[in-house]
A = this chain, B = another copy of it.
């Protein structure tokens, strides 16, 4: 659903004050521009903001926040608008603050392996610039060409390589944040280890813009891998996958991806993506694995040897190790039909939940059985970054809002039962706000509200996102 709403009114006094900070070009009400800023990639109802503000310096961000606090003007913070939880979608009466023009890569330290960047830098641009210097920024996700590193930090983005490199939180060494008070909190730490009191950056990483606006970051780089090896494994059970990932982490410290696809996902991928089956006979579970290293041939031999032993041990029923980049692409293609699936199964319910590994098999079985019983004509697909306990569930098409809601109830109730997380990487935003209590206790939500009241007493920043 897309409803473009009429922009709310901003007082002349505030508009003039904002223009005096940002210049005329920094305060935009052009209908084409505000329409383009009316929502993120989620299904949240789009609303065009009254104005879009384009600060060009961190200090301008801080000055804008001071003004908006003074005028009780609500702000929605916008990066690349690729979020899936509605956090960056404006609501009525909000002004949008876009980080798009705060987009300089300030420094790449090729000795210490850090990049100092402004929040609006596009992830892919950073990756490219860093790799040209023989370093590597390992965070990677489908939205790489549009998403911004500030948004990656505000939402604690994950992606395919978390098993090796961690989520965005582990990649942020230093941070600068503009606070609603108008203060700029500069904590641009460049050292790996800094144990000097409360580590305040974690208040802002993953907080989805509720406490401050991230303006700059010091990001941790890794040496650029020069070899990648991929294999697709057919497994006799999910239990075998838990053993495989443990043994692989031990034997192959270069393991950088461990994606699991259940049979229903694999069959849908073959059908929807028009792909040939990878194996002659079907298996209940598949694992797509990748290692990153420095020696293409040696690493492949090591991977082959490891998987050969796993075959003998019965952990794996069959395996294909890519012998070329083309092979590798073809193995990844099953996993990557997800884009087409999301399109074809619309309207759908899509989940990114965190489930303890020990509970995963029974979680998948019971949720699948519930969904199949209630919705026998829909597809219910299970896959995910299982090396991190991150399960994706895609169920659709569902024509009614009631059906979608029922699917949500089934999945989230099952998550609550196993003490899992209702969002492993996409965040809460507005879409999952009503379910937050399933993953976070009343005391936690109360403390989040306390922090909000302390740092944003007027409540101007991303109001009613994450928690009410």
By a beta-carbon cutoff of 8 Å, the part of chain A in contact with chain B is 109, 111-114, 155-156, 158, 162, 164, 166-167, 169-170, 183-200, 202-203, 205-208, 210-211, 222-226, 242, 246-247, 249-251, 253-254, 292-295, 298, 302, 354-358, 385, 388-390, 419-428, 432, 436, 439-441, 443-445, 447-448, 450-451, 454, 466-467
Quick one: given A358-B112, A450-B454, are A207 and B198 in contact (CB under 8 Å)?
A: yes
Cα A323 to Cα B385 in complex, Å, equals 38
Quick one: given A202-B199, A250-B224, A253-B254, are A185 and B356 in contact (CB under 8 Å)?
A: no
Among B184, B197, B211, B293, the residue within 8 A (CB) of A251 is B293
Q: Are A196 and B246 in contact (CB under 8 A)?
A: no
Among B184, B198, B210, B439, the residue within 8 A (CB) of A211 is B198
For A205, the chain B residues whose CB sits under 8 A away are 199
For A222, the chain B residues whose CB sits under 8 A away are 249-250
Cα A253 to Cα B440 in complex, Å, equals 35
Among B186, B203, B251, B424, the residue within 8 A (CB) of A191 is B424
Quick one: given A254-B253, A441-B186, are A191 and B448 in contact (CB under 8 Å)?
A: no
Q: Are A253 and B293 in contact (CB under 8 A)?
A: yes
Cα A389 to Cα B228 in complex, Å, equals 28
For A254, the chain B residues whose CB sits under 8 A away are 253
For A193, the chain B residues whose CB sits under 8 A away are 158, 162, 167, 354, 385, 388-390, 421, 424-425
Cα A111 to Cα B246 in complex, Å, equals 8
Which has the most chain B C-beta neighbours within 10 Å: A294, A302, A427, A448?
Answer: A294
Ranked 8 nearest A-B pairs via Cβ: A202-B202, A191-B354, A223-B250, A112-B357, A194-B421, A193-B424, A111-B358, A251-B294
For A246, the chain B residues whose CB sits under 8 A away are 113, 223
CB proximity of A215 to chain B, nearest CB, Å: 13
Secondary structure type dominating chain A contacts: loop
Cα A424 to Cα B192 in complex, Å, equals 8
Q: Are A191 and B421 in contact (CB under 8 A)?
A: yes
What are 30 inter-chain pairs, A to B, with CB distance below 8 A? Answer: A109-B356, A112-B242, A112-B358, A112-B389, A113-B246, A113-B357, A156-B199, A170-B170, A190-B356, A191-B389, A191-B390, A192-B389, A192-B390, A193-B388, A194-B439, A195-B423, A196-B423, A197-B207, A197-B436, A197-B440, A197-B444, A198-B210, A199-B206, A202-B202, A222-B250, A223-B246, A224-B250, A250-B294, A251-B295, A298-B302
Cα A242 to Cα B441 in complex, Å, equals 45
Among B197, B211, B225, B358, the residue within 8 A (CB) of A250 is B225
For A211, the chain B residues whose CB sits under 8 A away are 198
Q: Are B250 and A226 in contact (CB under 8 A)?
A: yes
Q: Are A190 and B425 in contact (CB under 8 A)?
A: no
Give the residue name and chain of the B residue nearest to A443 (CB): B185
Give the residue name and chain of the B residue nearest to A196 (CB): B439
Cα A225 to Cα B419 in complex, Å, equals 29
For A451, the chain B residues whose CB sits under 8 A away are 198, 454
Quick one: given A112-B357, A195-B155, A197-B208, are A185 and B390 in contact (CB under 8 Å)?
A: no
Cα A225 to Cα B298 in complex, Å, equals 20
CB proximity of A277 to chain B, nearest CB, Å: 30
Give the residue name and chain of the B residue nearest to A445 (CB): B197
Cα A440 to Cα B200 in complex, Å, equals 10
For A206, the chain B residues whose CB sits under 8 A away are 195, 197-199
Cα A206 to Cα B195 in complex, Å, equals 7
Cα A306 to Cα B188 in complex, Å, equals 34
Among B186, B242, B249, B424, the residue within 8 A (CB) of A195 is B424
Cα A151 to Cα B425 in complex, Å, equals 30
CB proximity of A226 to chain B, nearest CB, Å: 7
Which has the most chain B C-beta neighbours within 10 Å: A188, A385, A443, A451?
Answer: A443
CB proximity of A401 to chain B, nearest CB, Å: 23
CB proximity of A69 to chain B, nearest CB, Å: 16
For A247, the chain B residues whose CB sits under 8 A away are 223
For A292, the chain B residues whose CB sits under 8 A away are 253
Q: Are B421 and A356 in contact (CB under 8 A)?
A: no
Cα A181 to Cα B191 in complex, Å, equals 35
Give the residue name and chain of the B residue nearest to A113 (CB): B246
